Structure 1
Amino acid sequence: MNLDYRQAVPEDSEWLFDTYRRTMKGFVTSAYGWDDNLQRAGFAKSLRQGACQIVTWEDNQCGFVHWEVEPDLVWLRMLCVVPEMQNRSIGRAVIAKVMSLSSHLQKPLYLNVLVCNQVAYDWYSRIGFVEIENDGQVSTMVLAPSSSPAHRERHA
């Protein structure tokens, strides 16, 4: 699968928020309730931190990935694939890119996932993330060292 990535620009903000809403509204509603204005403000604030790239496949915007490199770790802030493009290995290719970045920087990769989003939680677990904290609504996970691309290459 040949995915292309481009840096998100301010003109993408409506598409980004719409994609977030389409993929996450049910889970956020279940966990906290959904207030469109609060979600929009929080989403905009989050995007001002780190890097956000739009993912395209065959000239179609199919999702986005947002991460932040901190002094001692990499946070995967968000990975959203538009609903009609899910289950096509797009998410797997995108997460591999972020895993490779954290490996290259030699920093652990962390993420938060809503506990009610069982499909995402299970997927992250299958690809090597382990839970380190859970408050009942949000699970914080870290990529286990043995799951990093560099570790797999060294031990292949």
Structure 2
Amino acid sequence: MNIAFSPTTQSDADTLVAIRIAAMRESLERIGRFDPQRARERFLASFDPALCRFIEVDGVQSGFILIRPQEDHWLLDHLYILPEHQGKGIGAAVLRDVFANADAQRMPIHLGALRGSDSNRFYQRHGFIQSDEAEWDIYYVRQPSQPKVES
């Protein structure tokens, strides 16, 4: 599996919204919150193409990631893999890349996941610890790994 990241532009907004809706649809329907228009508006209200990257697997657009660097942490604001590409280790591979970069800069990673979504188990499996919760979301943090000391 060859994973690459490619830049996004403002003109990719509709494609990104479609990926987000496809990835979240089942979880949102499960809790009675599926509203494509709201999903579109929420994404576009804070979309920054400079921070967003398509995830391509063997040359096929499979999802996207958007990380917002903050002063004292990184906010993993969006990580979506299209349903037909889920369960193949793509998300885990993307997180390994993110973790390597965050660890090198000693940055914690924060994120929120929709309550009831399978993404909660995914993030917990990858070392995120619940830090807070709200009506619709559960918030997580992952602290940077300690550097290995050579003896």
TM-score by length of 1: 0.86
Q: Which amino acid aligns with 1:127?
A: H
For the 8 Å contact 2:52–2:65, the answer to whether it is kept is: yes
Q: Which amino acid aligns with 1:120?
A: S
Output the CA distance in 1 between the equivalents of 2:131 and 2:141.
7
Between 126-135 and 47-56, report the one with greater CA deviation.
Answer: 47-56
Q: Which amino acid aligns with 2:148?
A: R
Question: Is structure 2 residue 38 aligned with structure 1 residue 38?
Answer: yes
* Aligned pair partner of 1:154 in 145, 148, 151: 148
Alignment coverage as a number of residue pairs: 150
Q: Secondary structure at the match of 2:116?
A: coil
Question: Is structure 2 residue 98 aligned with structure 1 residue 135?
Answer: no
Structure 1 spans left out of the alignment, 5+ residues? none
TM superposition shift of 1:54:
0.1
Deviations 1:107-142 (A, max 9, x none): 21111011211x211121111110011225211101
- What is aligned with 2:68? 68
TM superposition shift of 1:155:
6.2
Q: Which amino acid aligns with 1:93?
A: A
Output the CA distance in 2 between the equivalents of 1:74 and 1:114.
19
Q: Secondary structure at the match of 1:87?
A: coil
Q: CA RMSD in A?
A: 2.0
Q: Percent identity?
A: 23
Map 1:1-156; keep pairs closer than 5 Å.
1-31=1-31, 33-48=33-48, 51-117=51-117, 119-145=118-144, 148=145, 151=146, 154=148
Q: Secondary structure at the match of 1:154?
A: coil
Q: Which amino acid aligns with 2:127?
A: G
Distance 1:31 1:51, change over 3 A: farther
Q: Which amino acid aligns with 1:122?
A: R
For the 8 Å contact 1:5–1:53, the answer to whether it is kept is: yes
Q: Which amino acid aligns with 1:115?
A: R
Q: Secondary structure at the match of 2:107?
A: coil
Output the CA distance in 1 between the equivalents of 2:71 and 2:100.
17
For the 8 Å contact 1:50–1:69, the answer to whether it is kept is: no
TM superposition shift of 1:99:
1.5
TM superposition shift of 1:32:
6.4
TM superposition shift of 1:13:
1.4
Deviations 1:49-98 (A, max 9, x none): 76110011121101111110001110100111111111111001111122
For the 8 Å contact 2:8–2:50, the answer to whether it is kept is: no
